[in-house]
Amino acid sequence: MHNKKRIVVGISGGVDSAVSAYLLKKQGHEVIGLFMRNWDSLLNNELNNENLANICPQEQDYLDAQKICQELGIELIRKDFIKEYWDYVFSYFLDEFKNSRTPNPDIFCNKYIKFSAFLDYAIKELKADYIAMGHYAQINFDEATKEYQLLKGIDVNKDQSYFLSQLSQEQLKYTIFPIGNLTKPEVRIIAKDLNLSVANKKDSTGICFIGERNFKNFLDNYLPAKPGKTVDIKTKKEIGTHDGVYYYTLGQRKGLNLSGFKNPYFVVDKDVKNNILYVANENENGWLMHNNCLVNNINWISKDKPKTIKCFAKFRYRQSDIPVKLTFINDNEIKVKSLQAVRAITPGQIAAFYLNDVCLGSGIVNTIEK
C-alpha cells in the first residue's frame, strides 16, 4: 500500500476512528468518512417516554463525526444499515436470549455490518480500495501461506481481536486498522496535539441499542418478563421468584431478589422449558468451574483447519489467555478441552482461539461438559 489509495473510514464519533482517519490522510491517501446508523429507536417503538439521548447516543456521535471530518478536512457520508442490523444482529440477539443463552451482538455487528454491509457499500458504491476502522488490532499478510492473519493490538488493555474473530480472509483483505500498533494513551496524545474536539471524549460502553439504561427494561420491550421460581439447586426448595430466566447469566450474583440469607446466592443453571432459575450459595467452584465445552458456528481464519491443535482461548473480552486443546469434530464444531478449569463458561458466548498473538478464529459455546 505504498501508492495513494481511496480509503473509506468508519467514523463513529470517537477518538479512535478520528485518529485512524488522520493517520491515513497523513500518509497521503484519499480518505472518506462514513458514519453508520444501525438503530432507529423511534422505528422500533421502544422509547417508553424516555429521552432519546439517554437510550442511544448515536445522534450526538453523528454530530461529533461531522465535527471530526470538518477538522480533518474530509468528506463525511451518513449511511443507514438499520434493516441489515435488525436482520443479522438484533434478531440473533433476541433468539439467543429466548433460548436463555448469552449472545455477543458486537461480534456479529462486526461480521455482518461493519465488515460486510459497510464493506460492500464502500467498495461497490464508493469505489474504495480499502476500508479502515479504529479497532485495536492488526493485520499481517503471511508470505509463506499467502493468507491474511488477524493479530492482537499492541495495547494489551485495548486489544479488540476478540470482537473481530469472526472475520474472513476476504474481509481482512480489504481492511486496515491504522491504530493497531498504538496504545490508547498514544492515540489520545495524537488527538490532543491536533486539537481534535473528541480528544478527551470517553470511550463508549455497552451496546448502542441499549446505551446507558437498564438492560432488563430494554429487553422487556421485546421479551416480556415471564416470572418463575428460583430454586436452591442443593435443597431443591423454592426460595424466591425471578423475572424470566433469560435475564440471568451463569455466575450472576446481583439482581436475584434474594436477601436475608447467610451466604449470597449465585446462578448455576437455568431450566428454560420450565422457567426455573437454579442458584447456590456454597461450593462456587464446584458449580461454575469447567474444563470442557463444545463450540459450533466455527469461523477459522486460515483456509486449512487442523484436526487437533494446542493453543489458547478467551471465552470473554479481556480474559487472560487460557491454554486449551482443540479437536475438530467436523468443519463446524470443535471440542475444547481447557488445561485449567474456567469459571462460568456460558452457552452463547464467543470462544476465540489464539496462537501467540495470532487470532485463529472463533465459535459460539454450545454446551458445557464436566
Catalytic residue among 56, 69, 208, 359: 208
Cβ within 8 Å of residue 309, ≥6 positions away = 325, 326, 355, 360
List the strands of the sheet with 6-10, edge to edge: 75-80, 30-37, 6-10, 130-132, 175-176
C-alpha distance across the termini of the chain, in Å: 49
Catalytic residue among 109, 293, 311, 359: 109
208 catalytic? Reply is yes
**Catalytic machinery residues:** 109, 208
